[in-house]
Amino acid sequence: MHALPRRGFLFAGAAALATRIAAQTPRESPSRDALIDDVVTANHILAAQEIVDAFGHVSVRTAPGAGRYLISRSVAPAQVTAADVMELDLDSKPAAGEKRTSYRERFIHGEIYRVRPDVMSIVHCHAPALIPFGITRIPLRPVYHNSSFVGEGVPVFEIREGGGDTNMLVETAELGRALAKALGNKPAVLMRGHGAVIVGKSIIESVARSVYLEVNARVQAQAMAMGQRISYLDEGEVKKRAEDPDPYGRAWDLWKRQVMQGAR
Ligand SMILES: [Zn+2]
């Protein structure tokens, strides 16, 4: 088990702040190069935070309302470079002539973007701390402020429903649609015996939610092991937290700085 995220902060420079706001404000469309950079950064942050390992992926919609998204070709997140990022449509097909192939489970992304116009970015991971909550009847509940979105509900996708016995991978459009249905209008969905999908209105939100969803699972399991009644965040607290327009900007700036320093 790795340590809880280190506390820390840095003073975001004007440029970093502008990039962050651009990445989060749907009306201002960041350039394609900026979006590709965000996909690379997100992959490296998720790997550094141990949310993904050799497997897992993150995507971003090309523009609000667009039927296309950017995602890496099929390589480990820590190894993703700008040259690996490719564009797929909502059928999760690349443009004609594209020789590279993306992840087998790319249908997760296309089918969620299709039915969730509010979603601008999607993460799929297999973080071990999340698995117990997908294979028991114990629901994830919000244990602290950073993961208050858990209080909006984190359902569990049962691939056997409709899929029967599978290899557990969401590798068809049909399974992608079933997963999107299980997610509904929620911020995340657990996948029984497999992992989770986390969505956000920006790539910053999907990445930060992924990090804090995993922390929530670890802390909740620790609290439950202590055998006492647990005080979870209540509905009113969850609602008030959801009103914060930029809860994760500082975290993104810090994580981005850390992965950039690590790459030198
Ligand atoms: Zn998977």
* Euclidean distance between CA atoms 9 and 146, whole angstroms: 15
CA of 206 to the centre of ligand 1 (A): 16
Determine contact, residues 170/108, Cβ cutoff 8 Å: yes
173: Cα separation from own chain's centroid: 19
* Euclidean distance between CA atoms 163 and 261, whole angstroms: 44
CA of 231 to the centre of ligand 1 (A): 32
Domains, the chain, in order of start with CATH, read: 14-263 (3.40.225.10)
CA of 115 to the centre of ligand 1 (A): 20
CA of 122 to the centre of ligand 1 (A): 13
CA distances from 185 to 144, 172, 200, 204, 206 (A): 22, 21, 11, 19, 14
Strand partners, 69: 61, 88
Q: Which residues of 88-105 are buried (b: 16+ CB within 10 A; e: fewer)?
A: bebebebeeeeeeebbeb
Per-residue pLDDT, 30: 86
CA of 169 to the centre of ligand 1 (A): 6
Strand 188-191 versus strand 156-157 pairing type: parallel
Catalytic residues: 105
Q: What is the pTM of this model?
A: 0.89
- Per the listing, tokens 């209540």 go with 234
CA of 194 to the centre of ligand 1 (A): 6
Q: Which residues of 201-229 are buried (b: 16+ CB within 10 A; e: fewer)?
A: bbbbbbbbbbbbbbbbbbbbbebeeeeee
What is the three-class DSSP state of 138? coil
* Euclidean distance between CA atoms 256 and 104, whole angstroms: 27
Per-residue pLDDT, 21: 53
CA of 73 to the centre of ligand 1 (A): 15
CA of 89 to the centre of ligand 1 (A): 20
The tens-digit pLDDT sequence of the chain (264 residues) is 444 444 333 444 555 555 555 555 544 678 999 999 999 999 999 999 999 999 999 999 999 999 999 999 999 999 999 999 999 999 999 999 999 999 999 999 999 999 999 999 999 999 999 999 999 999 999 999 999 999 999 999 999 997 899 999 999 999 999 999 999 999 999 999 999 999 999 999 999 999 999 999 999 999 999 999 999 999 999 999 999 999 999 999 999 999 999 877
* Euclidean distance between CA atoms 259 and 264, whole angstroms: 9
CA of 125 to the centre of ligand 1 (A): 6
